[in-house]
Amino acid sequence: LLAADREELFRILYERSFIHRPDRPFTLSSGKTSPVYVDCKKTTLGHSRAQYLIGDLLYHRISRLDPDGIGGLTLGADPIAVATSLVSGLYHRSIPAFVVRKEAKGHGTKNPVEGDLIPGARVVVVEDVVTTGASGMRAVDVCRECGYEVLEVVALVDREEGGRDRFAQAGVPFFSFFTLSDFLAHDREIRSV
């Protein structure tokens, strides 16, 4: 069933989030330009079936780690973490979601991480798309500064532009459900039909 769910999620991401625009390249968060963009938020925020699939696939991926929380840098990680947390409740194994702020609040608790994590929590950091890994590493660093142990970084899509190596150098396991190569190969296949 998980393999079928993964295939279904891939199809939804391809149809809703994969954009190939060679005539007007996109500027990525790394500053590089690319004719291909994967806008996961069109799926993670806008498609209820995909939200369930993401939560279920991620839950099954990380439940073996027995984490105390799941989250990452706002905004890309937020719907992924919330979907996984919600599905974890369906399995009666609660994994709270958390949010890593881009900037610490200047008032109230001034927390750089929002959520209900226990001190010393063991957490999984999530991302929608990993390019160089800079956003993911920022979330990892903030979590570590707060005293949390980062068990793994999980992404929906790895653009294969250095993120995996960056996490490896920081001693953080990394997993992605899909790669940009997967989408490009599927796109070539679709266009050749």
Beta-strand pair 97-100/113-115: antiparallel
pLDDT computed for residue 103 by the predictor:
82
pLDDT computed for residue 192 by the predictor:
86
Q: What is the pLDDT of residues 59-114, one digit of tens each?
A: 999 999 999 999 999 999 999 999 999 999 999 999 999 999 988 666 666 789 99
CATH 3.40.50.2020 for the 1-192 domain, yes or no: yes
Buried b (16+ CB within 10 A) or exposed e, 155-164: bbbbbebebb
Q: Please give the Cα distance from 134 to 42 (Å, whole number).
A: 22
Mean pLDDT, the chain, integer: 95
Say what the pTM is.
0.95
**Residue 193 in this model has a pLDDT that exceeds 80:** no
Q: Please give the Cα distance from 38 to 183 (Å, whole number).
A: 9
How much is the average pLDDT of 117-143? 97
Domain residue spans of the chain: 1-192
- Residue pair 91/61 in contact by the 8 Å Cβ criterion: no
